[in-house]
Amino acid sequence: MTDDLLRYRGEFPILERTTYLISNSLGAMPRGVYNSLRGYADSWAERGVRAWEEGWWEMAVGVGDQIAPLIGAHAGEISLHQNVTLTQAVIASCFDFRAPRNKIVMSTLEFPSIQYFFHEQARHGALIDLVPTTGDVGLDLDTFLAAIDENTLLVPISLVLFRSSFIVNARAIIERAHKVGAHVILDVFQGTGVIPIDVRALGVDFAVGGVLKWLCGGPGVAYLYAREDLRTTLRPALTGWLAHQRPFAFEPGPLDARHDSFGFLNGTPHIPALYACRPGLEILNHVGVRHIREKSLRMTTRLIERARAHGWTVNTPDNPAERAGTVSIDCPHAQEVSRELLTREILVDYRPRAGVRISPHFYNRQEECDFAIEQIAEILETGAWKKHAAEPVAAGNHQHTR
């Protein structure tokens, strides 16, 4: 079978040198980023302060409009921020945590940064209901739904769980939350660019994510979608001059707030990161998420089959409808094995309670996935993993990927 998507491989230099299977953490850099960042340097160097007027102020709108179709949003519906934690903070600042509606319902499987942020809101009155699950793969939907009640203010939940790549039943959670008057913040970070997402069809209140993983956009750009009615009724307290109706009038006093996606902004935008992310977004839109999803399912299905054939535990759902782009393989000595894979230029990562996470993307060859599995088997057979047995989990080593 010919694989049409392999024609994009030449756009990603790192694929020539490594077996790059870590797009759940940091997508490969498109070659076009060199030119894009040069464009940034040139406009700063040559146009100086005029660069703001000549494009920088408008850039975020253009980038937001490139992200919108990837999550089912319309042009103009997205505001851009520096990271996902900040998007959650901007959203949270639209609400107050006065009892009785002060409960935040979250899963223990939620990305830790989001758990940390909301726990700190306890100082403002938030009551955190951290819902446990059995095992580390899927969410116990019924237990989670039961926690959402009339006292619930916010439900921050990942569409795709970062550890297992399990796709959460967002529709059921949104339905339950809306029945009791709660708002859902859907973190689509691990889904966007690898599974189809339609935030408008879901009717979700908010969706947030970043571009550095499956969108190959590099660090520094996160997106915030707020449903149309909420854009007009809600006002973030974490705000600033870009949310003002007339930012360049520099008026003293309170904010005259905008009621569109700009209403969620605050200070000066992250211009270099906006330049860096555009080539990746262009490619992703060109490839199309439907094609990516088809290929991704073929690759992850085969990874699961092969891992099982070796007798290894797979901490990713078998059911393709519940599985996004990563396969977590808990083979013996998984941490040491993943370190040895890295020394062999096979880029993957390791997570406790997940195992070796393998994340092929549209630019990978099937043979690269097979090669990773063969190498794991060889590392176990030959005992090559033992070289890494005594290595501490030190800050700054390359296992610290997301």
Q: What are the residues binding ligand PLP (CB under 6 A)?
A: 83-85, 111, 113, 158, 162, 187, 189-190, 210, 222, 402
Tell me whether residue 87 or residue 239 sits nearer to ligand PLP (CB atom): 87
**In degrees, to the nearest 5, what angle opens at C-alpha 25 toward C-alphas 19 and 28?**
50
Residue whose structure tokens are 């340097």? 41
What is the nearest approach in angstroms of ligand PLP to the Cβ of residue 392? 23
Residue among 119 and 365 whose Cβ is closer to ligand PLP: 119
Are 62 and 111 contacting, i.e. CB atoms less than 8 angstroms apart? no
Amino acid letter, residue 44: W
Specify the residue, 174 or 373, whose C-beta has the smaller distance to ligand PLP: 174
Peptide bond into 100 cis (omega under 30): yes
**Which element (helix H / strand E) includes 106?**
strand 103-107
3-class SS of residue 223: strand
Supply the minimum distance, in Å, between the C-beta of residue 326 and ligand PLP. 10
Shortest distance in whole angstroms from residue 284 CB to ligand PLP:
17
* Rounded least distance, CB 382 to ligand PLP, Å: 33
- Looking at residue 232, its amino acid is T
Determine the Cα–Cα distance for residues 224 and 91; give it in Å rounded to an integer: 9
**In angstroms, what is the minimal distance from the CB of 187 to ligand PLP?**
5
Closest to ligand PLP by CB, 22 or 51: 22
β-pairing verdict for 127-131 and 152-158: unpaired
Sheet strands (E) in 237-348: 313-314, 327-330, 346-347
Taking the complex as a whole, how short is the minimal distance between the CB of residue 37 and ligand PLP, in angstroms?
20
> Tokens 């990837």 appear where?
70
Cβ 209 to ligand PLP shortest distance, Å: 7
**Could you say which DSSP state residue 322 is in?**
G
Contacts 24+ apart (CB under 8 A), 367-373: 368/19, 368/20, 368/21, 369/21, 369/299, 369/302, 369/303, 369/306, 370/302, 370/306, 371/19, 371/346, 372/19, 372/21, 372/303, 372/341, 372/346, 372/348, 373/303, 373/306, 373/307, 373/310
Closest to ligand PLP by CB, 200 or 402: 402
For ligand PLP, the closer CB: 338 or 375: 338
Q: How far apart (Å, rounded) are the C-alpha atoms in residues 292 and 179?
A: 34
Closest to ligand PLP by CB, 111 or 144: 111
Closer by beta carbon to ligand PLP, 339 or else 351: 351
DSSP state string for 43-77: HHHHHTTHHIIIIIHHHHHHHHHHHHHHHTPPTT-
Largest CA distance in the chain: 70
The least distance separating ligand PLP from the CB of residue 401, rounded to whole angstroms, comes to 9
Q: Is 126 within 8 Å of 97 (Cβ atoms)?
A: yes
Dihedral angle sign, alpha carbons of residues 359, 91, 105, 400: positive
Query: Minimum distance between the CB of residue 111 and ligand PLP, rounded to whole angstroms?
Result: 4
Least distance CB 165 / ligand PLP (angstroms): 10
Q: Give whichever of 157 and 372 is closer to ligand PLP, judged by the CB atom.
A: 157
CB 220 within 8 A of CB 82: yes
Cβ distance to ligand PLP smaller for residue 83 or 151? 83
